[in-house]
Amino acid sequence: MTDERSTRDELDIQRVLFDYAWACDNKDWDLLHSVFTADARLDYSSTRGPAGGREEVVGWLREGLSQVLFMQHLVSNFQIDLSGDRAAGRAMFYTTVRVPGLDGLMLTGGYYDLAFRREPEGWKIELLVEDNRWRNVTPPGRE
């Protein structure tokens, strides 16, 4: 049986990942920076991006995402395992992106492999590995 605290923790952890998606979609770089621990390890190598620390990877995201016309993340199907002030899990993502110079929409999907840590200000992401499983560009007029 799930107790009230673990239910609250799971909801708070999901909120951190929702904040991550909102920050990327809305180009809110302060919010994006805030969802990660100072020593976070982030890996976007499945999209030919960097694997590194928070400052390096948030800078890369800022540079790349500032160029897109719009983006919308959907994050779902959470699997979260809690252990005190730490948690590990996975979530699925589906992202729609309008890229300048590209006719049609780019659609991507896959999984986030994750680790979280409770800090004084709340839960933060300490590990995020984007496992991009597929990408498709919809032809113009079929968006």
Rounded to 5 degrees, φ, ψ at 42 are -125, 135
**Which spans in the chain are helix H?**
4-26, 29-34, 54-65
CATH class of 4-137: alpha beta
Check residues 2 and 83 and name the one with the higher pLDDT. 83
24: pLDDT strictly greater than 80? yes
Rounded to 5 degrees, φ, ψ at 58 are -65, -40
pLDDT tens per residue across span 88-119 = 999 999 999 999 988 889 999 999 999 999 99
